[in-house]
Structure 1
Amino acid sequence: MIGSLALATLRTRKAAFAGSFLALLCAAALVAACGVLLETGLRGGVPTERYAGTPIVVAADQSLHWTKEKKGKTKVKSKPLTERARLDAAVADRLRAVPGIAAVVPEVTFPATVLERSSGDEVWGHAWDSARLTPFTLRAGRAPVAADEVVLGSTDGVRVTSSGGTRVGEQVTSTDGVSVGAQVTIQATGVPGRYRVVGLADGGPESVFFSAAEARRLAGHDGKVTALGVLPRAGADTDALAEAVTAAVAGTGAEVYTGKERGALEFRDAEQARVMLISLGGALGGTSLLVAILVVVGTFALSIQQRQREIAVLRAVAATPRQIRKMIGREALAVGAAASVPGAFVGLGLAFWLRSRFVELGALPDTLDLSLSPFPVFAAVLATVAAAWTAARVSSRRTIRIRPTEALADAAVEPSRVGVFRTIAGLVALAAYIVLLVVLRGLNTEAAASPVTFLTVVLAAVAVALLGPWLTRAATAVLAAPLRLSRGPGFLAAANTRADARRLASVVTPMTLAVAMTGTILFVQTTMDHAADEQARAGTTAGYALTGVAGVPGPAADAARKVPGVGAVTEVVHTTLRVGRDKYPAQGIGPARGTLDLDVREGSLDHLAAGTVALSATAAERRDTRIGDSVTITMGDGVKVTARLVAVYERGLGFGDVTLPYELVAGHVDRPPADTVLIKADPSAHPALAEIARAMPGLRLLDGDALHARSSNAAEVNLVAMGLIIAFTAISLVNTLAMATGDRSRELAALRLAGTTRRQILRMLRWETLLLVLVGTVTGTAIAAATLSAFATGMAGTPVPYAPPLACLGLLAAVTAAALAATALPARVLLRADPADVIRARE
C-alpha cells in the first residue's frame, strides 16, 4: 500500500522530484570520482619500464619511517622521500657472492636535457652498461665508448628512424632533427657539453646513454649508485633468489624491489602522486559529501514543501505519521537509487577527466593510471541513497508531526513560527562557525588550515539553511521596503517576499552556499599566492638573475662574479625536506648579502655556513626552537643532518620555511645545478652578464618584472579539484530556483486571471530574484570574507585577504545571471498555459 502510493506519487509528480534527482545524480558523480582518486592513491601502481629486464632490483629505501604510539600500540608510519636516495656501490660485492646470480649491474641516474630538442624536456641519463636492465637494443650505430659520445633512446619525445645496416657517421633522420653522427648539446649536472650521437636505441623510456666513466662523472655522488640490477642465472628460482638477496643486503640500508615494486622505484614521482591523491581524494570527497548532503536536504525540503497540501490531505484522512514517513522514505530511496547508478558511472568519466587535467598541469605523471574497481561505484550508490533517505526524513520531520486537524490549515497558510529544534540547531551551527573562525586565525600551516577553512564555510551554510526563514524575513523586510512604495510588479514582489519566507529561504541557502564556497575556493589560493608574491618581491633585492632550462651550472655563477660592477652573486636551489615529521619547502643559498632580504627577526644570515640553518618564524614557533638550538633535518634523499639555528626570518611564504647553505642542499637533490643565480650589479654590468647567458646554451638573463615572476600550478590544481564543488553548488542554485518557480503555476495563473499581464509577472519575478540575489550574495560574501580574513590572519599574518576585483565582480555577475535565467525560463513556460486550465488542474 505505502510502496504503491510512493510509486504513484513519483509517476504523477515527476517535475517535483526532477530537482532532487539532478542533485543526487551530481552528488553520486562527485563521490564516485573522489572514490576513484582515493583508490588510485591506495592501490595504484605504474608499469615497470626502465627495470623491465631485471626481476630483482636493489636500491636504497625511498621512504622515511617513524613509529607512533597510540592507545598502547606502536604503529610504523611511512612517507615517500622527495628526492632519490642512493645506495653504497659496495653493496654490489655482497650480491655477487650470492649463488644463482649471473650479473649485478650498477645503475646511475641523473637528469639530462638535449638542448637541441624542440620540446626541451628533461630526461634521464645512464651508463650504456646498464641498458640491458630494460633492455635497450641498438637499432642504429654502436655503443658509446669515448667521453663525448652518446646513444639516444627512441621514444615519443625523440623518435628516430633509420634503415637497417646504418653505419656510424651516416645521417639517420629523426623526427626531432637528431641523427646518428649529429652533434648535440646536453646539460646534465654541470656545464652543457657537446656530444656526438653514435647510436639510436629502442626498448624503453626516453633516455640518454653515456660511456660508463662519463656517466659516473656526471652523476656525482662518489661511491653511490641509484640501483643495482640483479640478473639471475638461467633456470634460477626468482622468488628464492629474492629471499637470498634480501638476506645478503641485511643491515646495509638497502631494500629489494620485485614485481610492481620496481615501477614504484623507477617512477618515484608516481609514488609521491599516490600520496597526494590519498589526501586530495579524501579531502575532496569529504567536502563533496558534506556539500551534497546540504544541497540534497534543501532540495528535498523544497520538494516536500511543494507537496504539503497533498500530505495534509493524507493526514486529514487518518494517515499516521509513521505511514507518511515510510512513504516519503521510500520515495527518497527510489529517487536516490534511480539517480545514483547513472551518477556513479558519470563519476568514472569525471575521474578520467580529472586525471587528464592533473597530468597536463604536472601534478600527476602520465605513467600513473587510475585504479578501477566496483568499490567507488558501490560507495557512491550507497552514500547517495543514504543521503537521499536522510535528507527526506530530516526535511519531512515537521510535516509528519502536525495533528490531522491542523494539517489542511497549515498547508494553506505558511506557519509564522520556526521550529524550536531548528532554531536551536541553527544557533549551534552558527556558534560552531564562530569557534572555527577563531581556530582558523591561529593555524599557520596550509595542511591544517585548508580543511578547517572549507569546513567553516559548510558550517556557515548549515546555519544559514536552518536559520533561513529568520534571515529571509529580516532581510526582505528591509530590502523590500522601497518596493512597497511602488505600484505594480515591485509591490507584488515585496508582498511575496514577506509572505513566503520559507520558500525563499530554501532558495537563499544554495545561493549563499554558491557564493561562499566559490569565493572561498577561489580566493584562498589568490590570498596565498599574493602573500607569497609580495614577500618574494620585497625580499629579492638583486637586480638580475640567471635561469636555465636545466638549471644554472656553477661556472656561469663564477663568471658572473668576475664581471666588473657585480656586487654579489647568490646561487639558489630548492627542495622539500622534513624537520621531525613536518614537511617544509626549503632553499639552499650562497652568501645572500645584497641579493636577498628574508626579513630576519633574530640572528643573522651572515652566519649561515656549514652546520647551520635558518628557519621561518612559523617553523621555529612550531618546532619551539630558538637561536643556538640544534635542529635535526631529514634531507630530501633521507640523509639526516644536524644543524645549529642561526637566524629566524619572517618571509617564509615567499622563500620557504627552511634555508640551508647551497652546498649542503645541492648534494642531496636529484638536480644539483642552481635553479636561479641572483646577481646584484650596476646597470653597466648588463652587457657582460647578457654575454654570459648567450655563451652558455639554455641560459637566460632576467631583470625588471621578469625577475619577480613566479610560476606555480598549485592554484590551477586546486581549482580543478575544488571546481567540481563549485559546479555542484552552481547546479544546485539553478536547480532550486527552477523548482521554486515551477511550483508557482497556480499563483501565476491567479494573477493573470486578476488582470496582471505576462510582462508585469516577469518583472515581478525579476524583482523577487534580485532581492534574493542581494540577500544570498551579501550573506555568502560576508561568510567568505570572514573565513578568508581568518585564513589570511593565520597564514599570511594580515587580516586582509586578496580577492581580485574583476574576479569578485565576475562571481557576483555569474550568480545573478544564473538566478535570473533559472527564474525566467520556467516562468515563461508556465505563462504559456491557459490560466483557467491551470487553476482547474490544481484544484
Structure 2
Amino acid sequence: MLFLVVASLRERKAAFAGAFLALFCAAALVSAGGTLLQTGLRGSIAPERYAGTPVVVSGDQNVHATKKKGKRKAKPIAERAWIPADLAGRIRALPGVAKAVPEVTFPVTVGGAPGWGHGWGSAELTPFTLASGRPPRGGHEAVVDAAHAGAEVRAGGRTYEVVGVTTRNARHQATVFFADEEAHRLAGRPGLVSAIGVWPRIDVSAALAGTTALASAGDARGRVEFPAAERSRVKLISLGGAICGTSLLVAVLVVSGTIALSLQQRQRELALLRAVAATPRQLRRMIGREALAVGVCAASLGAAAGPLPAAWMRTRFVALGAVPENLHLVSGPFPVLAAIGATVVAGWASARLSARRIARIRPVEALGEAGLAQRTGPGRVVVGVLVLAGSVVLTIVLSGLSTEAAASPVVVLTALLWTIAVALLGPPLTRAALAVLTLPLRASRAGGFLAAANLRFASARMASVVTPLCLLVALTSTILFSRTTMERATTAERDAGTVAAHTVGPRVPAEAARALREVPGVTEVTEVVRTTVRIGLDKRSAQGVTAGAGTLDLGVTAGDLGALSPGTVAVGEGLGRRVGDTLSLTLGDGTPVRVKVVAVYARTLAFGDLTFDHALLAAHVDDPRGTVLIAGTASPAALTAALRPYGLRLGSGPGERAAGPDAEAGLVAMGLVIGFALIAAVNTLAMATSERSREFALLRLAGATRRQILGMLTLETALVALLATAAGTAIALVTLTAYAHGMTGGPPRPSTGVHLGLVAATAAVAVAATLLPARLALRRPAL
C-alpha cells in the first residue's frame, strides 16, 4: 500500500500540487489567525511613563456582571477609569510604604499632534528629569519631553509657554507637564486621579478594600498606562478567531473540491486497481494516506510561514490605528501546531469522504467513466438539503440581528454556508443549468459544439470548478457590500439628520465653542462628543450633545429631545425602551448611572444608540473635545477668524466620516481570506485544465486545431464563470438583504460599478487560469 501511495504521488504531481497549494494557504492563514489570537490572549505592553514605579494603583478597566448559572463575566470599558484622590493618603499610611505619588492624565496638543498632559509632581513616576529650563510654576507654563523641544503646547483652548525640556521622552506618547494645580484644573476631575505610583513594591490591597481600584506591577503596569492597547488585545482575539474559523471553513470547502476533482481524474486508475483485487477499504486507506502525506508536508510549511501574514496584518492594523505600535506579536508553538493539526485533519477527512463513493466502483466501470461522472450519491444530496435548510435558518437569524458585534461574524458565516450548500448540490444544479446555457452553442462552429459537448459530459468536473469561483464572488461581495450598505445608510441618516450649516472638528475645546457662540449671526452651536457605554455587558454607541441641539434631527418618534438634561437620556428605537423608563448603565469610564428616558429616536446609525446631555458624557471620557455644529447666518470669514486662535478650520455641512479603524482592520483580515479564495479558484481551474492533456491530444489527432481547442476552452470557461458569478451574486444578495434588514431596516446598498468590476475580474482570472495551462499542454506532441 505504501508503494502505491508513493507511486501515485510521483506520477500525478499536478493533481497533488493543487491539493498541496490549497492546504499550504489554509495552514498559513490559520497559523496567522492563531498568532493574532495568541497575541490578544498573552500579549503585553511594556510600561514607559510608569517604568520607574514598582506598583501602580488604578481603576478597574472592566465592567462586571453575573450571567446565568452564577458565572461572572467582564467586558472592557471605553475610557480610562479614575480613582479617589484620597487613596494616596490611605496607601501612604500602610507599613512599609515609602511614598505614593498621584497623577492626572488629560489630552493636550503638542506641535499640532495629540499628546497627554500631567502634573509635574508625577514626573518621578518614570522618572523625568530636566535637561534644560525649570519646572512649571504658574498657570501658563509647561515642560515638554525631549522629542518635542520647541513645539507649541495647547491645552484647554490656551497656548502655554514652554519653560523646560526633559532629558528623555516616552517612545509611544507625547508627554507634557504642567504645574500640579493647573493640571488638576485641566483634567476637570475634582477629587479624582488617574493613577497612583507606589514605592517600594509592596502589597497595598488593605488600602484598596471597599474600592474598585486595582494594584498592578511588572508588565501589568503597561496595561494601566495604555488602556487603549489593552482594548486592542480584545480586538485581536476576535479578529484572530474570525480568521481561523473562516479560513478553516474555506479550506474544507476548497480542499474537498480539489481532492474530489483529483479523484474524478483518477477514475480509470482506481477502477483498474479494483480490477486487480484491491478492496474498497484498501482504496480508501491509500487515498487517505496520500492526503496525509501531502497534508503534513503542506501544512508544516504553511504553518511555519503563518507569522509572515500575521506580521503584515499587524503592520496594517498599526497604520490604521486599530492596534498600538507597542503591542507586539507573541510567537509560540501553539498557532503552528494548531494550524498543522486542523489543516491535516481537514485534508484527510475531505479525502476520505470523497473516496467513499469512488472506492465502491465496480471494475467494469473503468470503461464507463461517463456514467460514474454523472451520478450524485443520495447521501450527498441529503447532506446538501440539510445544509441548505441550515442556510435558510441562519439567514433568518441574521435578519434579526441589529448590532455590528453580533451581525459581523454571522454575515460571513451565512455566505459560506450557502456556498457549501451549492457545492454539495453542485453536480445536479450545474448539469441542469448547463443544459440550458449550452443550447445556443450546439448549433455553432466547432469550438462551440465541442464546448457544449464537454460541458454536458463533464458536469461533475465543471461543478468542482464552479464552487471556488462562486465562493470568490460570494465572499468578496458579502464582505465589501456589507460595508457599503452600512456606510451609505449611515451617510444618508447623517445628511438627513444634520441641519447645521457648518462643522468644526475633531478635538474642538470648549473655549472654541464659546468663542463661536459670540460670533454675530450664529443662532446655535452644538458640541458633540462620542463614546461607548455598557448596558449590562452589551456595548452601545453613545453621543453627548449640548442643550437644545437644534442643529440635529435625530428622527424623534416619541418624547422631546429638548428635555435632555444630565439625569436623562434619549434612546434609539432598537433598545426597546419607552419614554419614562429608567435605564441603568455604565458610562465609558466605568461610572454606573441611572437615567430617565425622555425621547426615542430612529436615526441610530449616524447618531448612536443613546444620546446624553453633553455635560454628563464629557465628564466621563478621556478627551471631552469633540465636533461642533454651527447653525445661523454668520459669514464663513467671521467663523474662521473666531477659530484662528485655536488652530482650527471651518467645514461645511455634515461632512463625511470615514469608517473606523476597527472596520478597516476587519476588512484587511478578511482580505487575506478573499486572497485565499482567489488562489483556490486559480488553482482548481489550472488543475482541471492541466489534467486534460490526453483529451487535447485526442482532439488534435481528430483534426481539431489549437485555435479551435482554445476557443472551446474559452467558451467553456465563460459559461462556467457566468454560472459561478450568478450563483455567487445570488448568495451575496440573499445574505446582504438579511444583513441590511437587521442593521438598517432597508435594502442592501451595493456598488454596481464595483460588482461589475468584480464579475469582470473573476471572468478574466478564470479565462487566464484556463488558457495558460492549456497552451502549455498543447505544446506537447499530439501522440
**Normalising by the residue count of structure 2, what TM-score does the alignment of the two structures yield?**
0.98
Q: Which residue of 1 aligns with 2:218?
A: 259
- Give the alignment partner of residue 544 of structure 2, picking from 588, 591, 596: 588
Q: Distance in 2 between matches of 1:90 and 1:349?
A: 49
Report how far residue 786 of structure 1 moved.
0.9
Which range moved further: 767-776 or 202-211?
202-211
Partner of 1:823: 770
SS at match of 1:835: coil
User: Match of 2:163?
Assistant: 197
Deviations 1:443-467 (A, max 9, x none): 1112222222111111111111111
CA deviation after TM superposition for structure 1 residue 89, in Å: 0.8
Between the aligned partners of 1:413 and 1:196, the Cα distance in structure 2 is 87
Is the counterpart of residue 431 in structure 1 residue 389 in structure 2?
Answer: yes
One of 303, 315, 327 as aligned partner of 1:356: 315
Instruction: Say whether the 8 Å CA contact 1:82–1:637 is kept in structure 2.
Output: yes
Residue 367 of structure 1 pairs with residue 315 of structure 2: no
1:739-754 pair list within 5 angstroms: 739-754=687-702
Cα deviation for residue 211 of structure 1 reads 1.7
Q: Which moved more, 1:281-290 or 1:737-746?
A: 281-290
Deviation of 1:141 (Å) = 2.6
**Residue in structure 2 matched with residue 650 of structure 1 by the alignment:** 602
C-alpha distance in structure 2 between counterparts of 1:455 and 1:708, whole Å = 30
- Structure 1 residue 325 displacement after superposition: 0.8
- Aligned AA (2:443): L
* 1:82 has 2:41 as partner: no
Task: Summarize deviations over 1:692-712 as a string: whole Å, max 9, x none.
Answer: 122x232111114x7344453
Per the TM alignment, residue 121 of structure 1 is displaced from its structure 2 partner at its CA by 2.4
**1:355-376 residue CA offsets vs partner (Å, 9 max, x unmatched):** 0000000000011111111000
Deviations 1:43-102 (A, max 9, x none): 1111111111011111121211112233xxx32211222111111111111111112222
8 A Cα contact 1:344 1:381, kept in partner:
yes
Q: 1:785 to 1:412 in 2, by over 3 A?
A: closer
Could you tell me which residue of structure 2 aligns to residue 169 of structure 1? none
1:610-665: CA deviations, max 9, x gaps?
Answer: 2110111112x2xxx22101001200001011111111111101111010000000
- Separation in structure 2 between the aligned mates of residue 273 and residue 198 of structure 1, nearest angstrom: 34
- Equivalent position amino acid for 2:394 in 1: L
Match of 1:578 in 2: 534
Q: Aligned equivalents of 2:657 and 2:118: distance in 1?
A: 34
Query: Are 2:638 and 1:688 aligned?
Result: yes
Equivalent residue for 2:117, pick from 109, 125, 143: 125
Residue 12 (structure 1) aligns with: 11
Which residue does the alignment assign to 1:778? Answer: 726
AA aligned opposite 2:584: T
Out of 670, 678, 699, the position equivalent to 1:730 is: 678
How far apart are the structure 2 equivalents of 1:58 and 1:593? Answer: 39
Q: Gaps (5+ residues) in structure 2?
A: none
Cα deviation, residue 415, structure 1: 4.2
Residue 429 of structure 1 and its aligned partner are, at CA, apart by 1.4
AA aligned to 1:186 is V
| 2:475 matches 1:517 | yes
RMSD: 1.5
Higher deviation after alignment, 804-813 or 29-38 = 804-813
Partner of 2:248: 289
d(CA) in 2 for partners of 1:225, 1:412: 79
Query: Corresponding residue for 1:544?
Result: 502
**Partner residue, 1:325:** 284
Give the Cα separation in 2 of the matches to 1:702 and 1:203.
Answer: 35
SS of match in other structure, 2:655: helix
- Going from structure 1 to structure 2, the CA distance change for 1:252 and 1:426 (only over 3 Å counts) comes to closer
In structure 2, the CA distance between the partners of 1:709 and 1:85, relative to structure 1 (3 Å rule), is closer
Structure 1 residues 793-808: aligned runs within 5 Å: 793-798=741-746, 800-808=747-755
Q: Paired residue for 1:701, among 628, 646, 650?
A: 650
Q: Give the number of aligned pairs.
A: 781
Output the amino acid matched with 1:187. R
Aligned residue runs from structure 1 range 360-439, under 5 A: 360-404=319-363, 406-411=364-369, 413-439=371-397
Q: Which amino acid aligns with 1:584?
A: R
Indicate conservation of the 8 Å contact 1:566/1:685, yes or no: no
Native 8 Å contact 1:29 1:347 kept in 2: yes
Q: Report the Cα offset of residue 133 of structure 1.
A: 0.8
> Once the two structures are superposed, what CA deviation does each residue of 1:161-210 show, in whole Å capped at 9, x if it has no partner?
xxxxxxxxxxxxxxxxx43xxxx54233x213232232233153431111
User: Which residue matches 1:162?
Assistant: none
**2:409 is equivalent to residue 461 of structure 1:** no
Q: Does 1:713 find its partner at 2:664?
A: no
* Residues 60 and 85, structure 1, Cα contact 8 Å, conserved in 2: yes
Moved more, 375-384 or 276-285: 276-285
Q: CA deviation at 1:506?
A: 0.3
Q: Which residue of 2 aligns with 1:841?
A: none
> Is the contact made by 1:135 and 1:203 (CA closer than 8 Å) also made in structure 2?
no
| Aligned partner of 2:573 among 617, 632, 654 | 617
- Aligned residue in 2 for 1:3: 2
Shift of 1:487: 1.8
Q: State the identity %.
A: 55
Question: By how many angstroms is 1:538 displaced?
Answer: 0.7
SS at match of 1:122: strand
SS across alignment from 1:707: coil
1:148 is matched with which residue?
140
Quote the Cα distance in structure 1 between the aligned partners of 2:208 and 2:631. Answer: 50
- Verify the 8 A CA contact 1:570 1:595 in the aligned structure 2: yes
**Among 666, 678, 683, the residue aligned to 2:629:** 678
Aligned to 2:590: 638
In the TM superposition, what is the alpha-carbon distance from 1:559 to its structure 2 partner? Answer: 2.5
Q: Which moved more, 1:720-729 or 1:7-16?
A: 7-16
Amino acid at match of 1:814: A
Q: Which residue of 2 aligns with 1:97?
A: 93
The residue type equivalent to 1:557 in the other structure is A
TM-score, length-scaled by structure 1: 0.91
SS at match of 1:101: coil
Deviations, residues 230-282 of structure 1 (Å, cap 9, x unaligned): 122xxxxx3xx22xx11122113221111121111111111100111111111
Gaps of at least 5 residues in structure 1 are 159-177, 233-237, 837-843
